[in-house]
């Protein structure tokens, strides 16, 4: 008798490419002879899904621009009416697919829909969102109050306000759970990490969690880079100068990119910039391209400057290179704070870009930062998501 294939549904909230990419990479690690793979998201970019054989399901989501604009303004992207639409879309999807396991990335509504349908679901979320990770201090994001009152005053009140803010962000989902007869969860951190299982695409050396439950797993970094050739200008880079790879990704503050390039202009370095198609290449005094193969650039670079988020920052650490983060939302601040706390880089606010030349020069000469980045690279090599994720799925099905 031939065993029935287990049906696994991946659901991505495609706020940024990172959410789609991580699930796409993990889905590829599963044996197609054992598992039937279904994938749901708002859009299926050819850059990411070319050649994939997944069953595709378009699903309702807010536009990335809406989510990022609200997040950067310090307001919750998801009110209860929006989440209700998400849950309705989820329920239709779950009824159509009838999955044995759901894996979600930032699809908060699964905490209602999957549990209501009694379908086990795994949440993929970086470990710096866990309550167990306690940075000192907790990073202050670029909330409008920082611009109004300055970092000193805002930083004084932030620890007092943060518990209330985190509870308010979780309130819409908790009200919706009550509608479906489910218990409330807690604050924003609890909501983001909630699931039958919680999967961390990180390593314990970078994000140490003193206590973990039996349903939590470290998978190691989930890395991806577009299959692109190096640009024609690659051969014109001077090899006798350090190389800085600069990209703010799909979710960084691209308004500051020209300022960032100008701040580095007087350093004796070569600068390779990926604009993510959001900034005119002709306005930058650097070697530029809309998209670059990040893995190759990180491999050759001496320093990587990015938005601080895990996508590019972890690529840099996987190559053993120090990182400067210029974050614009709380997720990026948390990631950048973890890397700085580990000693493998620094982070700057957009208002501090004027200091970038000094910080970049220091990191290019900082042997300890390079040593720490190489140590993290070794741990990244030991925590292989292409092994640990299939192992997790197999253990779930016994």
33-58 tens-digit pLDDT:
999 999 999 989 888 898 888 999 99
Backbone φ, ψ for residue 348 (5° rounding): -130, 145
Q: Which residues of 337-350 are buried (b: 16+ CB within 10 A; e: fewer)?
A: bbbbbbbbbbbbbe
- Give the separation between CA 221 and CA 128, rounded to whole angstroms: 13
Give the tokens for residue 222: 């989930």
Please state at what angle helix 367-382 crosses helix 310-318, rounded to 10 degrees: 100
Residue 110 pLDDT exceeds 70: yes
Domain 232-382 = CATH 3.40.50.2000: yes
Average model confidence (pLDDT) across the chain: 92
pLDDT reported for residue 101: 98
Every domain range in the chain assigned CATH 3.40.50.2000: 6-220+383-396, 232-382
Lowest mean pLDDT segment, chosen from 10-19, 267-276, 342-351: 10-19
Identify the CATH assignment for 6-220+383-396 out of 3.40.50.10140, 3.10.20.600, 1.10.10.10, 3.40.50.2000: 3.40.50.2000
pLDDT given at position 280: 65
């Amino acid at each position: 008798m031939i065993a029935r294939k287990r049906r696994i549904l991946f659901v991505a909230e495609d706020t940024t490419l990172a959410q789609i990419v991580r699930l796409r990479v993990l889905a590829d690690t599963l044996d197609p002879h054992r598992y039937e793979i279904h994938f749901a998201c708002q859009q299926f970019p050819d850059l990411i899904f070319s050649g994939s054989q997944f069953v595709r399901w378009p699903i309702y989501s807010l536009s990335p621009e809406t989510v990022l604009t609200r997040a950067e303004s310090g307001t919750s992207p998801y009110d209860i009416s929006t989440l209700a639409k998400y849950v309705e879309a989820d329920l239709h999807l779950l009824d159509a697919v009838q999955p044995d396991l759901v894996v979600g990335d930032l699809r908060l509504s699964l905490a209602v829909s999957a549990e209501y349908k009694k379908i086990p679901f795994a949440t993929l979320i970086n470990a710096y969102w866990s309550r167990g990770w306690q940075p000192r201090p907790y990073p202050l994001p670029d909330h409008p109050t920082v611009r109004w009152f300055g970092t000193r005053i805002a930083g004084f009140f932030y620890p007092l306000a943060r518990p209330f803010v985190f509870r308010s962000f979780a309130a819409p989902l908790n009200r919706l759970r009550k509608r479906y007869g489910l218990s409330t969860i807690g604050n924003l951190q609890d909501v983001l990490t909630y699931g039958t299982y919680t999967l961390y695409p990180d390593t314990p050396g970078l994000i140490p969690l003193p206590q973990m439950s039996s349903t939590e797993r470290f998978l190691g970094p989930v890395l991806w880079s577009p299959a692109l050739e190096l640009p024609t200008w690659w051969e014109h880079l001077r090899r006798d100068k350090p190389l800085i790879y600069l990209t703010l990704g799909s979710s960084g503050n691209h308004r500051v990119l020209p300022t960032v390039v100008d701040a580095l202009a007087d350093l004796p370095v070569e600068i390779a910039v990926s604009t993510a198609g959001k900034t005119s290449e002709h306005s930058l005094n650097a070697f530029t391209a809309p998209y670059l193969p990040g893995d190759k650039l990180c491999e050759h670079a001496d320093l990587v400057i990015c938005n601080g988020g895990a996508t590019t920052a972890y690529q840099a650490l996987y190559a053993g290179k120090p990182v400067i983060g210029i974050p614009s939302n709380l997720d990026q601040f948390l990631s950048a704070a973890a890397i700085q706390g580990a000693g493998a880089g620094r982070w700057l606010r957009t208002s501090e870009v004027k200091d970038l030349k000094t910080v970049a020069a220091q990191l290019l000469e900082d042997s300890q930062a390079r040593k720490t980045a190489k140590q993290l690279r070794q741990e990244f090599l030991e925590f292989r998501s292409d092994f640990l994720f299939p192992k997790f799925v197999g253990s779930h099905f016994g």
